[in-house]
Amino acid sequence: MSMNITYKILKKHCIVGVLEANKEIGIKIDQTLTQDATGTMAYLQFESMGIPKAKTELSVSYVDHNTLQQGFENADDHRYLQTVALKYGIKFSKPGNGICHQVHLERFGKPGKTLLGSDSHTPTGGGMAMIAIGAGGLDVAVAMGGGEFYLICPEVVNIVLKGRLRKWVSAKDVVLHILRILSTKGNVNKVLEYSGQGVKTLSVPERATITNMGAETGVTTSIFPSDEVTKSFLRAQNREDDWIELNADPDAEYSETITIDLSEVVPMVALPHSPGNVVPVKDIAGKNIDQVEIGSCTNSSLRDLTIVGKILEGKIVNSDISLAIAPGSRQVFSMIAKNEILSNLIDAGARIMESACGFCIGNGQAPQTNAVSVRTNNRNFEGRSGTKSAGIFLVSPETAALSAIAGKFVDPLSKSAGEFPEIIIPDNFDIDDRMIITPPDDSSGIQILRGPNIGEPPINTVMDDKLIGNIAIKVGDKITTDHIMPAGPRLKYRSNIKKYSEFVFEFLDPDFYKYATNLRDKNKAVFILSGESYGQGSSREHAALCPMYLGVKAIFAKSFERIHSANLINFGILPLVFADNSLYDEIDKNDEIEILSIIECLVNNKNIVIFNKTKNIKIEMKYSLSDRQKNILKAGGLLNYIRKRQ
């Protein structure tokens, strides 16, 4: 039977279930990655499983999110992460070595393999023909222990690329163009698979920009073929042996086809506050700007920084602009330091940042009040930058660099952009893996170091058959995990759930914490009410774990995002969806809600009826749960479920 690339890889890895779109399957995971902000919990959970060594082909622990080290907490976390990794046979990429997705692509990604990462931008690996999926830390911990990863067998959308990009238009514009078509909702359980002649014109880092930001559409992952371009990237990384060819069969089937003529793509910008708010840059050309930030896992490759360095050569950043640049990896940083690119950037007045997530996660570089901040990363959610009143505009490195010089938005296709600087990417990259620590064969002498900020992950209780409680917050559509569990300065509490929980919904409702703990202390359930697409964005399981800690038992929403919904189930919180969305209007904050016979409904696959006692109305809620997920919920979460089975 002829197959697409996605199903070829899934078929090789499917251990539970059959490959039929929209059915649950369990797949073997070859590689895992974690980053520090989600990693501490993932390793604490892994430790609690009592498995002596990671069972994957390769697992890597990166430190890239939380590198500011204001206070002892981050440094303690880094120490814990290093010692726990080496104890359990996991490679450790030190802080300063770069952003997990960029480094993984350079040094470890392999076509045809599966990669599970505790970060939603893990699909970056799809640029190298991997099935690379973002998940909560607990799912990654289970995969490290040799357990399968469960997902809904996806529908595969074929994105056919024709032609070639014009000068000044780059991969970021392609993915923004796709976001304009697909938007940020309604794409769950799909894979975007690229094909067509245009694929050959894109390098692996350019493909990775596209698969990286594909995450913003909400799909499970995105994937490119593995071809001669992939081979030459691996050769440049001195890893040609890792190459295999991987293409879809000529008459492979897809659920849908979208054709994009690359030569017609124009420079694009995502306006505040959603990556799906995309318009051509031309529409806002001339608008004044205050800040430009270049970097992140979307746009920090050697290609991206080289083009920026060439555009800035001999120029100076506009006097009213702050320009900061963060290389994606130590390899990129070192290579631009050895040619004229880094000095071009410095001479142009750029502020050079560490190879880390930095500004992208709101770790520094918060813009001024009401700022217009132009950035090359992938998310522009309100407040994520650290300044609630600022608007973040997502663009390509080309648009960012030209705009930094001008002090206003410049459309790279306009005359003012000038001559396009041709760039040459070397055939061989500088290889130096000494910042990646390899675990010893005998780790018996390694002591795991834990600072005082590192607490045990809390565990839920078994599911109650009856719940009575109140609506603690009513929110609208597209609530992101940044709304639920802010990062930035709060990141240092990622390994301290008790403390981090104080900040749940901090910016939407500063009283949420008090309201929820008050209910919890009276043994009442805490409920959350939401519109469409609840839990967009990151994989941070803290957006489920901390609400669970505060007594949240169920969320009533019009729809949920994939990773967040899986995280809710993993921590024993019921994700319930309105059978009739208009009834969302019949519930308000403070309403008292009673739910009866939950277990019976789950067992018999019946809708769950919630009774709004305040409004005296019964509302039917649906759910889409496999038997495995129902059992996890009944057990009070995945850790309880695993322990029960052991």
- Would you tell me which residues interact with ligand SF4 (CB under 6 A)? 65, 99, 119, 121, 296-297, 357, 360-361, 377-378
Q: In this chain, which of 34, 38, 387, 536 binds ligand MIC, going by CB under 6 A?
A: 38
Q: In this chain, which of 78, 91, 121, 630 binds ligand MIC, going by CB under 6 A?
A: 121
Cβ 558 to ligand SF4 shortest distance, Å: 26
What DSSP string runs through 563-619? HHHHHHHHTT-EEEEESSGGGGGG--TT-EEEE--HHHHHHTTPPEEEEETTTTEEE
Of residues 478 through 517, those in contact with ligand MIC by CB under 6 A are 487
Q: In this chain, which of 32, 82, 102, 120 binds ligand MIC, going by CB under 6 A?
A: 120
SS3 call for 79: helix
54 binds, among ligand SF4, ligand MIC, none (CB under 5 to 8 A by kind): none
Cβ 293 to ligand SF4 shortest distance, Å: 11
99 binds, among ligand SF4, ligand MIC, none (CB under 5 to 8 A by kind): ligand SF4
Residue closer to ligand SF4, measured from CB, 503 or 515: 503
377 binds, among ligand SF4, ligand MIC, none (CB under 5 to 8 A by kind): ligand SF4
Cβ 523 to ligand SF4 shortest distance, Å: 38
Q: What is the DSSP letter of 420?
A: P
Q: Which stretch binds ligand MIC (CB under 6 A): 83-91, 116-124, 278-286, 565-573?
A: 116-124
In the sheet where 114-117 sits, what is the strand order?
A: 131-134, 114-117, 31-35, 58-62, 91-93, 436-437
SS (H, E, C) 532-571: CCECECCCCCHHHHHHHHCCEEEEEECCECHHHHHHHHHC
Residue closer to ligand SF4, measured from CB, 17 or 98: 98
Largest CA distance in the chain: 71
**Burial label, 18 (beta-carbon count in 10 A; 0-12, 13-18, 19+):** exposed
Residue closer to ligand MIC, measured from CB, 38 or 226: 38
296 binds, among ligand MIC, ligand SF4, none (CB under 5 to 8 A by kind): ligand SF4
Angle, CA 400 vertex, CA 395 and CA 405 arms, to 5°: 155
Going by C-alpha positions, the residue among 395, 346, 361, 390 that lies closest to residue 375 is 395
Q: Tell me how far apart the alpha carbons of residues 335 and 47 are, in angstroms, rounded to a whole number.
A: 38
The interface mask with ligand MIC, positions 347-366, x = CB under 6 A, is --------------x-----
Q: Tell me how far apart the alpha carbons of residues 272 and 393 are, in angstroms, rounded to a whole number.
A: 6
Q: Tell me how far apart the alpha carbons of residues 337 and 355 are, in angstroms, rounded to a whole number.
A: 13
Q: Please confirm whether the linkage preceding 121 is cis (ω < 30° from 0).
A: no
Q: Tell me how far apart the alpha carbons of residues 376 and 354 are, in angstroms, rounded to a whole number.
A: 16
Residue closer to ligand SF4, measured from CB, 4 or 536: 536
Decide: is 396 part of the binding site for ligand MIC (CB under 6 A).
no
Decide: is 59 part of the binding site for ligand MIC (CB under 6 A).
no
- Which residue pairs, CB below 8 angstroms and at least 24 apart, start in 337-341? 338/430, 340/309, 340/313, 341/305, 341/306, 341/309, 341/310
| Backbone angle region of 526, left / alpha / beta, with phi > 0 → left and psi within -120 to 50 → alpha | beta
Residue nearest to ligand MIC (CB): 538
237 binds, among ligand MIC, ligand SF4, none (CB under 5 to 8 A by kind): none
546 binds, among ligand SF4, ligand MIC, none (CB under 5 to 8 A by kind): none
Q: Tell me how far apart the alpha carbons of residues 344 and 644 are, in angstroms, rounded to a whole number.
A: 60
Cβ 65 to ligand SF4 shortest distance, Å: 6
Q: In this chain, which of 30, 76, 119, 155 binds ligand MIC, going by CB under 6 A?
A: 119
The pair of structure tokens assigned to 595 is: 């739910």
Of residues 372 through 391, those in contact with ligand MIC by CB under 6 A are 379
The interface mask with ligand MIC, positions 96-115, x = CB under 6 A, is --------------------
Q: Tell me how far apart the alpha carbons of residues 116 and 144 are, in angstroms, rounded to a whole number.
A: 9
Of residues 518 through 547, those in contact with ligand MIC by CB under 6 A are 537-540
Residues that bind ligand MIC (CB under 6 A): 37-38, 65, 119-121, 134, 361, 379, 487, 537-540
